[in-house]
């Protein structure tokens, strides 16, 4: 199996984690939640000698896709999002950019849904629809490298806020509990903000594990 390299940047107005996952043999590179500052992301791609193949969005809030349009145009790669958040991307009011920053919108190229499985950069990608932070929040699970890009659903000993449009305390509780029940303890959790964690630690310390 090929080796894989993960780099991250913290960008944007609310310190969003931006991930670059690369197949070191083919140089193919997956971008997850390119939050802002396309120049910084471009510099990292150049440093990695990467060849972007896709942009994965965990949900449609503006602080997770601010650089996506520029990077898509430059590298000619598709933008993926869960189908329930398609409208949010295209509406500056719904994606919150209109009230918190300059209004931005984006049209997704590929819509995904619960249970979808596809391959990028030599890896299997499984889509887990995890509503609660938004209707279309999703996680991307990479079983071959035991990694979960959890967006704003699951954080280190915490979880995403539910007081924004489309949020639901009941749904995010169900989503987090599902992740903890279905994924192996050793699965690395790469969240949209703050520190990395793993499923085993979240089973012990996440407040929603006991809700």
Both tokens of residue 152? 């704003």
Angle at 34 between CA 135 and CA 93, to 5 degrees: 45
Q: Which of 153, 199, 189, 196 has the alpha carbon at shortest distance from 174? A: 153
Kindly report, residue by residue over 2-39, the tens digit of the pLDDT.
899 999 999 999 999 999 999 999 999 999 999 999 99
Q: What is the pLDDT of residue 102?
A: 86
Distance CA 159, CA 42 (A): 30
pTM here is 0.97
- Is the pLDDT reported for residue 196 higher than 90? yes
Kindly report, residue by residue over 133-159, the tens digit of the pLDDT.
999 999 999 999 999 999 999 999 999
- Is the pLDDT reported for residue 187 higher than 80? yes
Q: Please tell me the total count of domains within the chain.
A: 1
Kindly report, residue by residue over 68-118, the tens digit of the pLDDT.
999 999 999 999 999 999 999 999 999 999 887 789 999 999 999 999 999
Q: Which residue has the tokens 């192996």?
A: 184
Q: What is the pLDDT of residue 2?
A: 80
Q: Report residue 148: phi and psi, to 5°.
A: -125, 120
Q: What is the pLDDT of residue 99?
A: 81
Give the mean model confidence (pLDDT) for residues 122-135: 98
> 170: domain CATH number?
3.60.15.10
Residues pairing with 102 in the sheet: none
**Long-range pairs for 159-165 at CB < 8 Å and ≥24 separation?**
159/132, 159/133, 159/206, 159/207, 159/208, 160/132, 160/133, 160/192, 161/133, 162/132, 162/133, 164/61, 164/96, 164/133, 164/134, 165/94, 165/134
Residue 184: domain span: 4-210
Work out whether strand 123-129 and strand 51-56 pair parallel, antiparallel, or are unpaired: unpaired
């Amino acid at each position: 199996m090929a080796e894989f390299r993960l780099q991250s940047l913290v960008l944007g107005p609310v310190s969003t984690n931006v991930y670059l996952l690369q197949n070191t043999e083919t140089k193919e590179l997956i971008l997850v939640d390119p939050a802002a500052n396309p120049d910084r992301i471009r510099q990292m791609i150049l440093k990695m000698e990467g060849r972007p193949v896709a942009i994965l969005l965990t949900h449609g809030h503006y602080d997770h896709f601010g650089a996506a349009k520029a990077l898509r145009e430059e590298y000619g790669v598709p933008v993926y999002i869960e189908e329930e958040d398609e409208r949010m991307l295209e509406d500056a009011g719904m994606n919150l950019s209109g009230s918190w920053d300059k209004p931005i919108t984006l049209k997704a190229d590929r819509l995904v849904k619960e249970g979808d499985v596809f391959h990028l950069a030599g890896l299997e990608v499984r889509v887990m629809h995890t509503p609660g932070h938004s209707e279309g929040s999703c996680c991307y699970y990479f079983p071959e490298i035991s990694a979960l890009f959890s967006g704003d659903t699951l954080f280190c000993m915490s979880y995403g806020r539910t007081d924004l449009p489309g949020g639901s305390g009941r749904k995010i509780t169900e989503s987090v509990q599902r992740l903890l029940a279905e994924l192996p303890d050793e699965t690395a959790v790469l969240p949209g903000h703050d520190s990395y964690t793993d499923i085993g630690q979240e089973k012990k310390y996440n407040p929603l594990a006991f809700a």
